[in-house]
Amino acid sequence: MHHKIIIIGSGPAGYTAAIYAGRANLSPVLLEGLQPGGQLTITTEVENYPGFAEGIDANELMDQMRQQAERFGTTIMSNICMRCDLSKAPYRLWLDDDTEMTCDALVIATGATAKYLGLDDEKKYMGQGVSACATCDGFFYRKKVVAVVGGGDTACEEANYLSGLASKVYLIVRKSQLRASQIMQDRVLNNPKIEVLFLTNTLGLYGENGVEGAHLVYNKGGEDEREYDLPIDGFFLAIGHKPNSETFLPWVKIDENGYIMTEGDSPRTGIPGVYAAGDVADPHYRQAIIAAASGAKAAMEAEKYLANL
């Protein structure tokens, strides 16, 4: 089946691209993928998206974007793009149900996926105490003791969120300081239920029927190096993300971390009619408002491209 434009991804970038493409009468098709709503749905309250003075629930925000995209004629499919051929137009996509689609323009807005430490115990205890989504699983740790790994904004946000549910939250930070924004640092350091463990690395996890604790090392390689066990009930990862760009290789150019490279300030990938928007092409900011703006730019570029065909 052929379409003028296909958008892959359903975060702020994908939905905004769909809204703009729909208003341009391009009849866009949007592939939601594994995580409808994107990364934003693993947070709770969004306080920094313009237009909501008191903040807005993240899932509500994404649901509103979805409805807005549909209002302007977007066809939303729950499929995943498994592989593609971007060697020439029309571009070909193969979905997870073996459907083949073609399009004249393509917006890649597949976002990024949470990173893990790479410990065997993470897989062993996945769903049994290990999680990469505090909002998804925090409820199960009410009045329990949990640990969050990471030192950035995401880690601080997850630690703060969990502090409203758990009896105690440890923030495990491998460096001597947090790298989060100052407001997020202040929230963590002034929260009596959060204890920050600086210069600390996780060696493994232990427990009979789920996570019961973590094997930690303080100041690894230093004179005062010390290994110890920390009793916890839950272990949350918040150490960054990996861009979901593999499906589009070798057609698009990526940087050393896998982010799709675009031309200057534009969403253009160098392939005529193919654009990248949102976190899959943003190694620096990774903010909903910036992702949404890049989705708008991608759709506007696509509209011009299609008009000139």
Find all residues with CB under 8 Å of 235, minimum gap 6, and list them: 125, 129, 130, 131, 146, 147, 149, 202, 205, 211, 214
Q: Give the C-alpha separation, 258 to 250, whole Å.
A: 12
Q: Which two tokens stand for residue 260?
A: 């799709």
From first CA to last CA, the distance across the chain in angstroms is: 19
pLDDT (tens place) for every residue of the chain, 309 residues total = 999 999 999 999 999 999 999 999 999 999 998 888 887 776 667 878 999 999 898 889 999 999 999 999 999 999 999 999 999 999 999 999 999 999 999 999 999 887 889 999 998 998 799 988 787 688 889 999 999 999 998 899 999 999 999 999 999 999 999 999 999 999 999 999 999 999 999 999 999 999 999 999 999 999 999 999 999 999 999 997 799 999 999 999 999 989 999 999 999 999 999 999 999 999 888 788 999 999 999 999 999 999 998
Q: Which two tokens stand for residue 15?
A: 């939905």
- In the prediction, which pLDDT does 168 show? 98
Of 104, 121, 137, 233, which one is the catalytic site residue? 137
Q: Which residue bears the tokens 């654009």? A: 275
- In the prediction, which pLDDT does 126 show? 84
Whether residue 81 lies in the annotated active site: no
- In the prediction, which pLDDT does 133 show? 77
Report the SS3 class of residue 47: coil
Q: Which two tokens stand for residue 187?
A: 């929230």
Of 85, 96, 136, 186, which one is the catalytic site residue? 136
Q: Give the C-alpha separation, 124 to 252, whole Å.
A: 35
- In the prediction, which pLDDT does 123 show? 87
- In the prediction, which pLDDT does 232 show? 98
Closest by CA to 5, choosing from 102, 110, 109, 111, is: 102
Whether residue 136 lies in the annotated active site: yes
Q: Give the C-alpha separation, 188 to 180, whole Å.
A: 10
Whether residue 186 lies in the annotated active site: no
- Is residue 210 within 8 A of residue 122, CB to CB? The reply is no
Distances (CA, A) of 264 to 267, 281, 292: 8, 12, 18
- In the prediction, which pLDDT does 199 show? 98
Closest by CA to 155, choosing from 243, 39, 240, is: 240
- Is residue 182 within 8 A of residue 152, CB to CB? The reply is no
Report the SS3 class of residue 155: helix
Strand partners, 276: 108
